[in-house]
Amino acid sequence: MKTLETLKTTLENFRPQMIELERVLSSIPAIAPESGGDGESKKCAALEKWLCEAGFDKNQMEHYDAPDSRVTSGVRPNLILTIPGKSNDYAIWVMAHMDVVPPGDLKLWKSDPFMVQYDEKSDKLIGRGVEDNQQGLVSGVFAALALLKNKITPEHTVKLLFMADEEFGSKYGIKYLLKKHPELFNNHDLILIPDGGDSKGETIEVAEKNILWLRLHTMGLQSHGSMPDKGKNAHLAACDLALRLNDLENFFNEKDDLFSPNYSTFQPTKKEANVETVNIIPGDDVFYMDCRILPRYSLDMVRAEVSKRVKEVEEKYGVKIEVSEPQAQQSPATPADAPVVKKLATAIKKAHGFEARPIGIGGGTVGAELRCCGFNAAIWSTMDEVCHQPNEYCYVRNIIADAETLCAMFTSD
């Protein structure tokens, strides 16, 4: 415990440097080319420079960059910082992503999204990326730096991974690493992703609902609004289909209290424009479904029932419906008693004195990619989850608290 108390004192003294690193990182908009940005290279270079100046050995940093001709640098960077441990039988990974989403409507921001503001009274940092995912990134960096400054060798090798492209599907991030550099990971590694959690740090995400996004394109026959019998109303057929697909919540109706909500959800969401005036029966209509499905139901099971209901609507209205999938993801769960979950829960108890519990979530993380490849991963952090919102914020005290937990994890057998 004396070692942990020493590290806690060091981390509290790092508060000004934590704020400064958040400012440095947010000042460089690491936005994907899909959103009009130039990727993460400048931000990664600034981070690498900061790490070297802080005292980390540049020889312990390795790049695994993914080629991408759309950005100026030609690559999407993935950087690994390794802190050798007393034992190398397995590694403890802390994985954070460098990319951020665009700020959105600037009128909703109280300050420049890319100039971090610190409110000392509330202990809040405000700016794009300060929580998603710089909070977890900074906690990992300073946990490692606390070991370095106190000349403490972790019990097991620690690897900090700074990833690209999480916000747009991870093709150039974790998917690239798993495909091109699978040798980086082994099944005994403990993988922690500080990119989701709750305001008290009490929940460890071990499972995700399967995700299926559907684009449903209904093709009928356009006619005058006064003569619907001359047309085939694509919008009407689509409305019927939306209700039938929403009703899948009653078909795939089992419950699992690991998740909140504890059931599968099938929700109509985005709607594309069809006709320009009120008095036209639309012959073409497009809408989307966001489906979050309990892992006990495979996506193929869902696809089969969707196809059945699509055919029923086609026959009823005489239309043709094309179904495509902008996103589809399913993954197994990390067992609640997996080593990474148990070691993290023990570290939380040791650092802060409370019990953490495993949960499942409806959102998607890079944890799903790792689990699909056979690697157990845990998602955890202490945060309000205000990612992607205007005036995104995080608390410095949460950066410190999570770094304390990581230090407890790094220094335990």
Question: pLDDT-based confidence at 364, cuts 50/70/90?
Answer: confident
Mean pLDDT of 276-303: 97
Q: Six-digit token pair at 330? A: 């399913």
CA distances from 377 to 185, 262, 266, 365, 369 (A): 12, 21, 26, 10, 10
Q: What is the DSSP letter of 232?
A: B
* pLDDT for residue 289: 98
Q: Are 116 and 23 in contact (CB under 8 A)?
A: yes
Decide if pLDDT at 376 tops 90: yes
* pLDDT for residue 408: 98
Mean pLDDT of 144-158: 97
* pLDDT for residue 335: 95
* pLDDT for residue 169: 87
Which parts of 125-283 fold into alpha helices (H)? Answer: 134-149, 174-180, 234-246, 248-251
Beta strand pairing status for 75-76 and 66-67? antiparallel
* pLDDT for residue 203: 97
Catalytic annotation, pick one of 166, 167, 208, 404 = 166
* Residue-wise pLDDT tens digits, 134-148: 999 999 999 999 999
Question: pLDDT-based confidence at 221, cuts 50/70/90?
Answer: very high
Mean pLDDT of 149-175: 96
Q: How far apart are CA 88 and CA 156, in angstroms?
A: 6
* Residue-wise pLDDT tens digits, 290-320: 999 999 999 999 999 999 999 999 999 999 9
Q: Six-digit token pair at 48? A: 């690498």
Cα 367-368-370 angle, rounded to 5 deg? 65
Catalytic annotation, pick one of 99, 165, 205, 392 = 99
Tokens 């490849």 belong to which residue? 373
Mean pLDDT of 251-263: 96
Q: How far apart are CA 49 and CA 273, in angstroms?
A: 48
Beta strand pairing status for 190-193 and 87-97? parallel
Question: pLDDT-based confidence at 82, cuts 50/70/90?
Answer: very high
Decide if pLDDT at 2 tops 80: no
- 65 an active-site residue? no
* pLDDT for residue 413: 87
* Residue-wise pLDDT tens digits, 5-43: 999 999 999 999 999 999 999 999 999 999 999 999 999
CA distances from 196 to 381, 385, 402 (A): 6, 7, 12
- What is the amino acid identity at position 264? S
Poorest-pLDDT segment among 2-6, 76-80, 253-257: 2-6
Do you know the residue count of the chain? 413
Decide if pLDDT at 360 tops 80: yes
Cα 225-216-389 angle, rounded to 5 deg? 105
* pLDDT for residue 1: 63
Do you find a cis peptide bond into 261, omega within 30 degrees of 0? yes
CA nearest neighbour of 206 among 87, 375, 44: 375
Mean pLDDT of 344-363: 95
- 166 an active-site residue? yes
- What is the amino acid identity at position 201? G
Ranges of beta strands (E only) in 230-300 are 265-271, 280-281, 284-293
Decide if pLDDT at 72 tops 80: yes
* Residue-wise pLDDT tens digits, 166-218: 999 899 999 999 999 999 999 999 999 999 999 999 999 999 999 999 999 99
User: Which percentage of the chain shows pLDDT scores above 70?
Assistant: 100
* Residue-wise pLDDT tens digits, 89-120: 999 999 999 999 999 999 999 999 999 999 99
Q: At what angle do helices 396-410 and 134-149 cross, to 10 degrees?
A: 50
Residue bearing the bigger pLDDT, 168 or 410: 410
User: Which percentage of the chain shows pLDDT scores above 90?
Assistant: 97
* pLDDT for residue 171: 95
Q: Share the mean pLDDT of the chain.
A: 97
What lies within 8 Å, CB to CB, of 4 at 6+ separation is 350, 351, 404, 407, 408, 411
Neighbouring-strand partners of residue 94: 160, 192
